[in-house]
């Protein structure tokens, strides 16, 4: 199979050296063109059927990365290969029309569904819009209503809500409408961008359970973006940690928690509210704000906030490498070496 990697995993998206730079407006005083380096060279394989959690503080470039994969922003550099039924498609080379067709497979669920739901459309119209624009049903086809009912039920929405408008729903229900709208297209890959961040904790777990169930049923692949590690802890197969436009650690979820190697991951983990079993864990406070992505620190970008920083860290960029067992890292002085 062309999309099988050396570990026998089927790759759905192969992301190579992706950079996303946005130009900063020039001023009278600063005429040199500068760039916001939102993504600064990311390599990542996303496997078929997995939930990949992506965490980092706000401003680290994770949402931009999700949108770049979906080609909502064409990348500045690098390649994103989507394997559709095992056949490679270079997303960068697709025309606008080819991309419009592919968008059925590659969907996005937003943090705030309310702002993305047309207030003048009913739930039935919102879910039906994509179905007709992608030619899954013809306008007026009576079978479409049956299909929308089925999707609404799958997403925990009662069918009598079909003719209601977004403002008549709670936050959790609106998120279900957003999910139903995306999943009605039977996508292959869904970016969930802070999809539960605006919801109460009890509603969060309902939506997370719903997303997990739908993944099982439809064989979906998720990229689950959040600033909150505790959200992705239970639903992710693997978790990637981003800092200032780069991936700094990536590992199977259990491995990341049991064998944390990067000082930034350690700090994020220490901020998760503790339970009795790990109440002895030290809380590491990250000092200072995330530096500017226009003028990032030299060497390891985390060195200005890392409590293990040494001279080498200020000079040399740590290489992204596999430390074994699917655990990837970019750090000169991983935590296991310090402890060992
Ligand atoms: Fe900290 Fe150095 Fe590792 Fe960067 S390379 S995370 S500064 S120890």
What is the rounded CA–CA span in Å between residue 77 and residue 210? 36
Strand bridging mode 189-193 / 106-109 = parallel
Distance of CA 25 to the CA centre of its chain: 28
Cβ–ligand 1 contact at 37 (below 6 Å)? no
Cβ–ligand 1 contact at 263 (below 6 Å)? yes
Q: Give the relative orientation of helices 142-154 and 123-133 as an angle to the nearest 10 degrees.
A: 120
Cβ–ligand 1 contact at 301 (below 6 Å)? no
Nearest CA to ligand 1 atom 3: 331
3-state helix, strand, coil in the chain (%, to 5): 35, 25, 40
Q: Give the relative orientation of helices 171-183 and 142-154 as an angle to the nearest 10 degrees.
A: 130
Question: Cα(302) to centroid of ligand 1, in Å?
Answer: 6
What is the rounded CA–CA span in Å between residue 65 and residue 169? 30
Which atom of ligand 1 sits closest to the CA of residue 262? Answer: 6
Looking at 184-289, list the stretches that DSSP marks H as alpha helix, in order from N- to C-terminal side.
201-218, 229-233, 253-258, 263-270
* 313 in Cβ contact with 324 (< 8 Å): no
**pLDDT value for 199:** 81
Cβ–ligand 1 contact at 333 (below 6 Å)? yes
Neighbours of 7 (CB within 10 A): 10
Local confidence pLDDT in tens for the 340 residues of the chain:
678 887 788 999 999 999 999 999 887 777 788 999 999 999 999 999 999 999 999 889 999 999 999 999 999 999 999 999 989 999 999 999 999 999 999 999 987 766 778 999 999 999 999 999 999 999 889 999 999 999 999 999 999 999 999 999 988 899 899 999 999 999 999 999 988 887 888 888 888 998 999 999 989 999 999 998 888 888 999 999 999 999 999 999 999 999 999 999 999 998 877 665 555 667 787 877 789 999 999 999 999 999 999 999 999 999 999 999 999 999 999 998 665 5
Cβ–ligand 1 contact at 320 (below 6 Å)? no
How far CA 207 is from CA of 150, 167, 179, in Å, comes to 18, 19, 9
Question: Cα(327) to centroid of ligand 1, in Å?
Answer: 17
**pLDDT value for 238:** 97
What is the rounded CA–CA span in Å between residue 9 and residue 80? 17
The 10 Å CB-count burial string (b at 16+, else e) for 238-268 is bbbbbbbbbbbbbbbbebbbeebbbbbbbbb
Nearest CA to ligand 1 atom 7: 303
Residues 6+ apart with CB under 8 A from 84: 102, 105, 188
Neighbours of 184 (CB within 10 A): 26
**pLDDT value for 22:** 95
Q: Whole-model pTM? A: 0.92
Closest CA to 66 of 177, 194, 179: 194
Closest CA to 40 of 305, 326, 228, 300: 300
Question: Cα(297) to centroid of ligand 1, in Å?
Answer: 12
**pLDDT value for 79:** 97
């Amino acid at each position: 199979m062309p999309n099988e990697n050396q570990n026998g995993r089927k790759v759905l998206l192969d992301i190579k050296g992706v950079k996303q730079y946005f130009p900063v407006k020039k001023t009278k005083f600063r005429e040199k063109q500068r760039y916001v380096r939102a993504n600064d060279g990311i390599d990542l394989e996303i496997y078929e059927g997995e939930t990949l959690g992506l965490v980092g503080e706000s401003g680290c470039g994770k949402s931009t990365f999700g949108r770049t994969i979906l080609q909502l922003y064409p990348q500045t550099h690098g390649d994103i290969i989507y394997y559709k039924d095992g056949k490679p498609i270079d997303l960068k080379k697709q025309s606008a029309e080819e991309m419009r067709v592919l968008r059925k497979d590659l969907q996005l669920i937003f943090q705030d569904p309310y702002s993305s739901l047309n207030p003048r459309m009913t739930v039935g119209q919102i879910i039906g819009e994509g179905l007709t624009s992608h030619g899954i049903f013809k306008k007026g086809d009576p079978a479409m209503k049956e299909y929308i009912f089925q999707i609404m039920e799958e997403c925990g929405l009662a069918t009598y809500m079909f003719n209601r408008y977004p403002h008549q729903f709670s936050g959790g229900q609106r998120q279900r409408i957003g999910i139903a709208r995306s999943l009605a297209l039977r996508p292959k890959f869904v970016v969930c961008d802070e999809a539960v961040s605006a919801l109460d904790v009890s509603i969060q777990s309902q939506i997370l359970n719903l997303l997990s169930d739908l993944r099982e049923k439809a064989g979906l692949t998720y990229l689950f973006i959040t600033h909150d590690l505790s959200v992705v802890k239970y639903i992710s197969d693997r978790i990637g940690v981003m800092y200032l436009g780069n991936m700094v650690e990536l590992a199977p979820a259990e491995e990341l928690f049991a064998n944390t190697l990067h000082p930034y991951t350690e700090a994020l983990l220490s901020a998760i509210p503790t339970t009795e079993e790990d109440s002895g864990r030290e809380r590491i406070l990250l000092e200072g704000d995330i530096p500017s992505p226009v003028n990032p620190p030299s060497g390891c970008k985390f060195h200005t906030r890392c409590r293990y920083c040494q001279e080498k860290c200020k000079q040399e960029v740590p290489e992204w490498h596999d430390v074994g067992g699917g655990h990837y890292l970019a750090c000169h002085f991983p935590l296991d070496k310090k402890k060992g």
